[in-house]
Structure 1
Amino acid sequence: MSALLVDDFPAEATTGTPSADATEETATVVVTETFWHWRHGRIRVWETDPHPSGQAIVLLHGYGAMVEHWRKNIPVLAADATVYALDLLGFGKSDMPDVHYSARLWGEQVRDFLDARRLEKVTIFGHSMGGLVAAQFAHDYPERTAGLVLVDPSGYPPRTPSDALFRILRFAAENPLLRDVSYWLFATPDIARQGLTSAYFNPEAITPDLVEAFVAPLRQPGAKYSYLAVARHPDDFFVKAPNGIHAPTLLVWGGRDRLLPPRLLKPFRELIPHAESVVIPDTGHCPQDETPAAFNLAVQRFLRMNVFDLG
């Protein structure tokens, strides 16, 4: 167990107010890092001190990311709730076993984590692939979902495994020799930087520390299993919600997202008709990290008005 004082975060994480009319000065926040032993392996957890309101937020990162991608948001969110950020199985500093990764497997990880911490109902945040997991969780476990914040989510519209490109990628991912060679070519700082360049609108946001944070997990022996999971089982990576999603929902999108462009707001609004939405201008695929002040303001207003009843 280790404790990270708010001073351990970059300056953007410790600022108190993105806007004086909507947030109060953020108090010193201590984030504790622990490892929770799940049935598939150890899971890294960041959590803040218990909040007297009893409200809880769970943060789920995107593909290839980790809990640090929420470092600029946790202090603001901790003003209203206890905050838990999880490294999904196969990413960050969580274990990376050779298992059948899917949105529903990670949803089970969240469910079991809530059971382990005796949390009945939480607000789920999900970025990119984590948004897919959060949306699927909200459908599968509506009784455990108080609210939902989807940040440039993936998973809709569905990709079909019959696509020629997906068939080629799946063949390569399931062939041990091709899998190892393709992963060896993929897992480099240059490729990680290229990916971040596509994900961020402002190139100045791509710091050496950010690149290293994304490269470090790639060096782990089991990373090839989780990082190639989409290619191995593409049908498991889109939202399956025949019963709809009924939790209060906020869709947040970067207005300059090149990976998942804002036009995808339309199918997500069709999937969740009651959802509110915010598009943050001059922002790429990672608004929570690239423009944290605008992001924090939007989500705090939504939570206080629609979930925490603090409006």
Structure 2
Amino acid sequence: MGYATSKDGTRIHYEEQGNGEPLVLVIGLGGTVDAWKQQVPFFSKDYRVITLDNRGAGLSDAPDEPYSMPIFADDLKAVLDDLGITRTAMLGLSMGGLIVQEFYHRYPHMISRLVLGCTGVGAGDPEYVYPEQDVMDALQPPPEGMDLYQQALRKIEIFYHHEYIARIPGFVEIIMEKMKDSGQAPHAYRRQLEACVLNKESYWNSPRLKNISVPVLVIHGAEDRIWPLQNAQYLADNISDVEFVILPNTAHMLFLEDPNAFNDAVNNFLTRTKK
């Protein structure tokens, strides 16, 4: 475990495990290093795996000021500099997918290949396909007076596939406990949400996709309601060196809903494209 200091003085928490070629995992909205429990043990057998808490989440600082993809990319650069990493494979999920795209456009020489999971081009982009209104509503901070059970229920319904929910007894209660333990300040969640969804000027990336010259895996859940599948299709159609994998019977949390299929797809891609 360590901390890197970003350009503006914000401290970013990170962890590393394993040896070998670096592989950086970047999580999305509200997520922390703990989100990768199904991935770190798997990939650290062959890779030096780095995970981090984006600003506003986990053990990283949470300044109450505007966040943006360039700022998140600066935070990520600070972590890599702190670790002495000059070139790495990088996997980003959801908002993390936006962060790693921005990082690539700023520091293309530092990326060997990219995995873009459950993501797209960004809410500020004319090519972005928005989720349905009930999903947008559920992503907002909860209304005053909503109890924790209802908060957990509305998150589950948009993040997870119904078959996955049915397989796990007491899943609502499990999510309630995670929400209690998250420690994320309301302002920090709001700042992250503004950066990736609410601010329609937040990110505009489609014209730059043609500039990505490293191998890319686009991987998406077939039933993702938060990032509708058209977003992944647009990435796959506009990146030159790309593989596109759709995991059936999964939603936005495909890396938890079907970790074996997700890990195998990513690992096969990384192995095939290693130089």
In the TM superposition, residue 302 of structure 1 has moved relative to its aligned partner by: 0.5
C-alpha distance in 2, partners of 1:187/1:112?
Answer: 38
Matched, 1:193 2:153: yes
Which secondary structure state, in structure 2, belongs to the residue aligned with residue 131 of structure 1? helix
Q: CA RMSD in A?
A: 2.7
In the TM superposition, residue 89 of structure 1 has moved relative to its aligned partner by: 0.4
After TM superposition, the score normalised by the length of structure 1 is: 0.73
In the TM superposition, residue 256 of structure 1 has moved relative to its aligned partner by: 1.5
Identical residues among aligned pairs (%): 26
Q: Which amino acid aligns with 2:155?
A: G
Matched, 1:265 2:237: no
Match of 1:223 in 2: 188
Q: Which amino acid aligns with 1:191?
A: Q
In the TM superposition, residue 227 of structure 1 has moved relative to its aligned partner by: 4.1
Q: Cα–Cα, structure 1 residues 139 and 224, in superposed 2: closer, same or farther, change >3 Å?
A: closer
C-alpha distance in 1, partners of 2:149/2:10?
Answer: 27
Q: Which amino acid aligns with 1:124?
A: M
- Residues 94-173 of structure 1: pairs in structure 2 closer than 5 A: 94-156=60-122, 158-159=124-125
Q: Cα–Cα, structure 1 residues 258 and 232, in superposed 2: closer, same or farther, change >3 Å?
A: closer
After TM superposition, the score normalised by the length of structure 2 is: 0.81
Which secondary structure state, in structure 2, belongs to the residue aligned with residue 79 of structure 1? coil
Residue correspondences, number? 254
Q: Which amino acid aligns with 2:81?
A: D
In the TM superposition, residue 128 of structure 1 has moved relative to its aligned partner by: 0.5
Matched, 1:36 2:31: no
Structure 1 residues not aligned, in runs of 5+: 1-32, 161-178
Residue-by-residue CA offset, 1:98-122 (whole Å, 9 max, x unaligned): 2220111111111121111110001
Preserved CA contact (<8 Å) 1:187 1:219: no
Structure 2 residues not aligned, in runs of 5+: 127-139
Q: Which amino acid aligns with 1:74?
A: V
Match of 1:19 in 2: none
Higher radius of gyration, 1 or 2? 1
Preserved CA contact (<8 Å) 2:39 2:259: yes
Which secondary structure state, in structure 1, belongs to the residue aligned with residue 29 of structure 2? coil
Q: Cα–Cα, structure 1 residues 43 and 193, in superposed 2: closer, same or farther, change >3 Å?
A: farther
Q: Which of these residues, 60, 73, 81, is aligned with residue 26 of structure 2?
A: 60
C-alpha distance in 2, partners of 1:217/1:121?
Answer: 31
Which secondary structure state, in structure 1, belongs to the residue aligned with residue 89 of structure 2? strand
